Structure 1
Amino acid sequence: MSSPAVCYTLASAPFEAACRIPTLPATHPASRLHGHSYAARVRARLPADWAGFAGAGLGTLRERLGAAVAPLDYAYLNDHLPVPTDENLARWLRKALAGAGVPGLESLGIRSTPDAGVDLDADGRAHVWRRFRFEAAHWLPKVPPGHPCGRLHGHGFEVVLHANQDLGSADMGIDQDGLAVLWAPLGAKLDHACLNDLPGLDCPTSEVLARWIWQRLKPRQPELSWVTVFETVTAGCQYDGEHFRIWKEQRFEAATRLSCAPAEDRRAGLHGHSYAIRLHVDAPLDEVLGWTVDFGDVKARFAPVYDRLDHQRLDALPGLADGDTAALAAWIRAEAAGALPELDRIDLYETPGNGVALCWGALAPALPG
């Protein structure tokens, strides 16, 4: 618990809109009138007293983001900006939020589809990402006897490629179509294959697979900034060419109240959430086993803390400062430290896309995606 933690507030807001991208060739489908179910998401380092009382920042940030996207909802985006790409929309919204008095903006992203988007970092640099899927079998040959991953099984894998668009050598930088072209040959090898049969994947953990993909794509695309592999919807690995960070996600149902809220605020009374928690672990790779920490071990070691959260009244937990999400993330960090010393980040969502990220490790929090 010696490392200081930084707490980021996370908020998201959807909107439906039509657009066309006039700078694209006439043969490109996005040059024609079309529409998307967009999602905007923001991460901000808010001052503790910004919204009036502890725990109010999340709701206020969500309201400000919703107000910022409101002019875009069910609108023709070209009426608001001439070239409404994901990146330009993100820059438009970032300016709108700054004008609305939102401090500490660390990242702002636009997701035009569930599988593609752009994030702006704190310095305004653009990072484009695209998600791909493949179906494959594998087994882990080095695990202890009886481990379920030692048996031949399979997954619907997902891979997210992220690239620093500002570094793109072409006039348009790195775009989502370019990432699709980059991925296609490798994706064809992985899809409907047994991963263990591919050279270099004799022990195909999420970590080894992320590194294997990086090593084959980075020379072809120097702007590649990291590779994310989802082995399941609740577990995966992110690799940036040097560091491995894995995560394990769980959900729990709980009641709470915010004792600092004014009596007339609904959050002052008992209410509840279906929480999602993502535990991030930063550890060196075990080259024999092929993983940093077993996903199952992360879940097992966290289980005593999880049992105190699920179907419980959170604001009554001993040692919890208040029932808000930021205070709860700090409490979880303290309670899990002994069993999970490799833990370096906790993402805690009270509703989808809305919550906090508590970070204290050496790695900066990666952009969403």
Structure 2
Amino acid sequence: MTPTVLHSAGAGFEAACHIPALPAGHRSRRLHGHSYFARVRGALPPAWAPFPGAEVSALRERLEAAVAPLDHSLLNDHLPNPTDENLARWLQRGLADVPGLGQVSVYSTPHTGVDLMPDGQAHVWRRYRFQSSHWLPHVPPGHQCGRLHGHGFEVIVHANQTLGAADDLAVDYDHLDALWAPLHFELNYRCLNELPGLDNPTSERIAAWLWARLQPLLPSLSWVTVFETGSSGANFNGHTHRIWKEFSLDSAVQLRQAPAGHPLGQVHGHTFTLRLHLQAPLDERLGWAVDYGDVKALFQPVFKRLDHHPLHQDPALSDTDCASLAAHALDAARAVLPACDRVDLFETRGSGAIATLGDTSELIPV
């Protein structure tokens, strides 16, 4: 099965703003500033970039040009209520000439942002943390997760808060904060196994537990994401459980189709972020879709072949651009992990490629 490949690019900018549409006394009505990060991705057509393999750098240059007028500016000079959602829509209009453009995202902080989908739906998200212990009671004897241990858990709450063209007032993140506050009180500095409904607190079970409590109060809830560690976690949308496991590759590359003298044609390298996504039915006893430990162990031979190597010398690789690497990693992962249906491969923050066998219309980023 041939995967769909999406290219992605990210760019930061520094800017000041105030949001007049918010209620009097709200802190964001005052002049303040952010270190923003914008990200776009899409299914770029062949020959859009100067040469095959240059899609990421070309898309990043196009995005950097689009955000340049915003950098070190007062955003209100560009649009009256520069919320994350309105900024994303402004960028979407400015990038309308990019063929195949899909999701446009604006993050005003590392813990807050909006993902604007191609159909115009805006998914607002906010990241939260809690410190807790747990153990998994049904794992095989000797499994490390069967011992009482702890994590600094992170949760991202995604909500489809599309406002419509007639309303300038963007989502007030304080609403999400208010909904999260009682859950934080329940979870923080607790042993999760002692909470009703969390006797087997896997990431998947925690995500479903949070969904059950948030969705009645937030009908627009679209995803709950739970990070068990910085490199693994689970998503739940009310129906489907997905997990991911992340790896870091320090590898050398050289794009084979770059013209003579082009920087990408020289031997260079990146600390790549490689993320495997898997979807499988939840094991009712174990409480997980796939064991993170199994994902790491089964993918380890592939990881060792790619990490700390000159990838342009690997005959198994057609090229070493992000799209080629992501597609190769997906194929190699599926040989040992059939539940894997998506691979993200980023050379820098937000810039890389996604190879997926699933629906590309709503790929919520991790």
TM-score range, shorter chain: over 0.9
Distance in 1 separating the partners of 2:310 and 2:142: 37
1:308 corresponding residue in structure 2: 305
- Aligned counterpart, 1:231: 228
Structure-2 change in CA distance of 1:113 and 1:51 (3 Å) = same
Work out whether residues 11 and 355 of structure 1, in 8 Å CA contact, stay in contact via their aligned partners in 2. yes
Of 104, 109, 112, the match for 1:116: 112
Question: Which residue of the partner structure matches residue 21 of structure 1?
Answer: 19
Calculate the aligned-residue CA RMSD, in Å: 1.4
SS at match of 1:237: strand
Q: Give the CA deviation at 1:363.
A: 7.5
User: Could you list the runs of 5+ residues in structure 1 that have no partner in the other structure?
Assistant: none
Q: Deviations over 1:289-331 (max 9, x none)?
A: 0101110110100001001101111122223111211111111
Cα distance in 1 for partners of 2:358, 2:74 equals: 42
Tell me if the contact between 1:167 and 1:223 (Cα under 8 Å) persists in the aligned partners.
no
- TM superposition shift of 1:152: 0.6
Quick check: 1:356 aligned with 2:338? no
Matched, 1:73 2:71: yes
**1:336-347 pair list within 5 angstroms:** 336-347=333-344
CA distance in structure 2 between the partners assigned to 1:360 and 1:253 by the alignment: 26
Q: Which residue of 2 aligns with 1:127?
A: 123
* Alpha-carbon offset, residue 44 of structure 1: 1.2
Shift of 1:368: 2.3
CA contact (8 A) 2:245 2:275 kept: yes
Q: Are 1:48 and 2:46 an aligned pair?
A: yes
Could you give the per-residue CA deviations for residues 85-120 of structure 1, whole angstroms, max 9, x where no partner exists?
11111111111112xx31111100110111111111
**1-side partners of 2:76 and 2:25: how far apart?**
19
Tell me which amino acid in the other structure corresponds to 1:163.
A
By how many angstroms is 1:178 displaced? 1.1
What secondary structure, in the 3-state scheme, does the structure 2 residue paired with 1:35 have?
Answer: strand
Higher mean C-alpha displacement, 227-236 vs 311-320 = 311-320
- Deviation of 1:21 after TM superposition, in Å, equals 0.4
Is 1:82 the counterpart of 2:80? The answer is: yes
The answer to whether the aligner puts 1:30 opposite 2:21 as a matched pair is no
1:255, 1:272 within 8 Å by CA — same for their partners in 2?
yes
How many pairs are equivalent? 363
- Structure 2: how far apart are the matches of 1:181 and 1:326? 40
How far apart in 2 are the matches of 1:134 and 1:313?
40
Query: What is the TM-score of this pair, normalised by structure 1?
Result: 0.95
Residue 339 of structure 1 and its aligned partner are, at CA, apart by 0.5
Counterpart residue identity of residue 49, structure 2:
A
CA distance in 2, matches of 1:364, 1:161: 19
Alignment-derived partner of residue 57 in structure 1:
55
Q: Is the 8 A contact 1:214 1:227 kept in 2?
A: yes
Work out the CA distance in 2 between the residues paired with 1:300 and 1:174.
42
Instruction: Look up the SS of the partner of 1:60 in the other structure.
Output: helix
Q: Structure 2: state its 5+ residue gaps.
A: none
**TM-score, length-scaled by structure 2:** 0.96
Instruction: Determine if contact 1:107/1:367 at 8 Å carries over to the other structure.
Output: no
1:269 maps to: 266
1:184-199 equivalence runs, <5 A: 184-199=181-196
| SS of aligned partner of 1:312 | coil
What are the residue-to-residue correspondences of 1:327-342 with 2, within 5 Å? 327-342=324-339
Asked whether 1:206 is paired with 2:234, we answer no
Which of 360, 364, 367 does residue 364 from structure 2 map onto? 367
The residue type paired with residue 213 of structure 1 is L
Quote the offset at 1:364 in angstroms: 5.3
Aligned equivalents of 1:352, 1:173: Cα separation in 2: 26
Secondary structure at 2:140's aligned position in 1?
Answer: coil
Contact 2:249 2:272 in 1 (8 A): yes
Contact 1:237 1:244 in 2 (8 A): yes
Shift of 1:256: 1.0
Say if 2:334 and 2:341, in contact at 8 Å, map to a contact too.
no
Identical positions, percent: 57
Question: Would the aligned equivalents of 2:207 and 2:234 in 1 still touch at CA under 8 Å?
Answer: yes
Give the drift of 1:361. 2.9
Of 76, 93, 96, 1:95 maps to 93
* Alpha-carbon contact 2:86-2:170 (below 8 Å) kept: no
Partner of 1:138 in structure 2? 134
